[in-house]
Chains A and B, each alone.
Chain A
Amino acid sequence: GAGVSQSPSNKVTEKGKDVELRCDPISGHTALYWYRQSLGQGLEFLIYFQGNSAPDKSGLPSDRFSAERTGGSVSTLTIQRTQQEDSAVYLCASSLLAGGSGDTQYFGPGTRLTVL
Chain B
Amino acid sequence: AQKITQTQPGMFVQEKEAVTLDCTYDTSDPSYGLFWYKQPSSGEMIFLIYQGSYDQQNATEGRYSLNFQKARKSANLVISASQLGDSAMYFCAMREYGQNFVFGPGTRLSVLP
Contacts and interface: CB of A to CB of B under 8 A. Distances in A.
Interface residues of A, number: 22
A110 interface: yes
Nearest to B97: A101
Contacts of A48: 100
Interface string B76-113: 00000000000000010101111111011110000000
B12 interface: no
Contacts, number: 54
Contacts of A89: 43
Contact of B91 (A42, A93, A100): A42
Interface residues of B, number: 26
Q: Majority SS of interface residues in chain A?
A: loop
Interface of A: 33, 42-43, 45, 48, 56, 89, 91, 93, 99-110, 112
What 9 pairs between A and B have smallest CB-CB spacing? A107-B45, A101-B33, A101-B97, A99-B98, A42-B105, A43-B103, A102-B33, A101-B32, A101-B31
Interface of B: 31-33, 35, 37, 43-47, 50, 52-53, 91, 93, 95-101, 103-106
